[in-house]
Amino acid sequence: MSEPENHPGAGRRPLWQAPAIQALLLFVLGLVGANVADVLLQRAGLAPLSPLQTSLLHGVLAALLARLRRMAAWWWLILLVFPVAALGAGQLHLPSWVFLAVFLFMLVLFWSTFRSQVPFYPSGQTAWDAVAGLLPEGRPIRFMDIGSGLGGAVLDLSRRRPDSEFTGIEIAPLPWLVSRVRAALAGNRCRFVRGDYLLLDFGNYDVVFAYLSPAAMEALWHKARAEMKPGTLLLSYEFHIPGTTPDVVVEPEDGGRVLHGWRM
C-alpha cells in the first residue's frame, strides 16, 4: 500500500482538532459552568442545586457550547444526555467491571472514530442493490469498500459478481473480525483487510465505495481525484461531496438515503 498524496485535506488532523477531544473540553467547561452557577445561587441565598439539577445544567451548557462551536448535531445530543446518564449509572451502584466491559466493547467497535470522524454506519440491502446496479458489466472489476464495517456490502456484491475481486478495509478490530468470520463461514472468496483507507492506493481499484461521514468527504474527494484512474468510479452512500456535481444519483423509491457516483 502506498502513502497518500500530500494534497489538502488528505492528512490527519492534529489530535486537539478531533471532535471527540473538543467535545471532552466542552464537557469540562459545562461542568465548571454548572458548578459556578451553583455557587452563585448559594451566595445569593438560594438553595443549592440537587445532583440532578446540576447534571441537567451541565448537559445544557455543554450542548450549547457545542452548538456555538458548530459541531455535528450528534455531539449536542451526547453532551446533553451524558451527565444525566452518568448520574443515573452511578446511582445504580454497578460493579466496576461493567464499565470496563462496556468501554472495551465500544473501543473495539469504534476504535479511531475520535480521530477519523467516521462512526459505525451500517448500510443495508437498499444500498447494496443500488451499488450493484452501477458496477461495470462485461469484464471483471476490482472493488474496494472503505470502512467496510461488518462486511455486508462486500459479501453481497461478491456473490453477485463471482468473476470480480471484492475487498473491504476496516480499521476497527471487532467489525473487521466479524466480517472475516462471515466470509469464512460462507465460503466467500472476498477479502477483508484491517487498516486505514488513507494508506490505500485508490489507483488499484475500478470502483471505490464509501459510507463514511460528512467530515471525511473532502479528504476522500482529494484522494480519489489524485489516485483513481480515468474511467473508474467513486461511490458515496448518503453523503455528498460539497462543491461537486455527481455524475449519477440513485434515489430509492421510498425516499431513503441517496447513492452518489462520480466518474473519474
Place of cell 452501477: 134
pLDDT number for residue 5? 38
pLDDT number for residue 104? 62
Q: Of the segments 24-28, 142-146, 148-152, which one has the largest average pLDDT value?
A: 142-146
pLDDT number for residue 10? 37
- Mind listing the pLDDT tens digit for each residue in 175-186? 888 999 999 999
Q: Is pLDDT of 31 > 50?
A: yes
- Whether the Cβ atoms of residue 101 and residue 92 lie closer than 8 Å to each other: no
Percent of the chain with pLDDT over 90: 55
Give CA–CA dist 78/93, Å, rounded.
22
Q: Is pLDDT of 232 > 80?
A: yes
Give the rounded distance of the alpha carbon of 35 from its chain centre: 33
C-alpha distances out from residue 67 to 60, 227, 242, 250, 264, Å: 10, 36, 21, 32, 37
Its pTM surpasses 0.85: no
Give CA–CA dist 121/213, Å, rounded.
8
Task: Work out the mean pLDDT of the chain and round it to a whole number.
Answer: 84
Cα dihedral sign, 115-8-170-160: positive
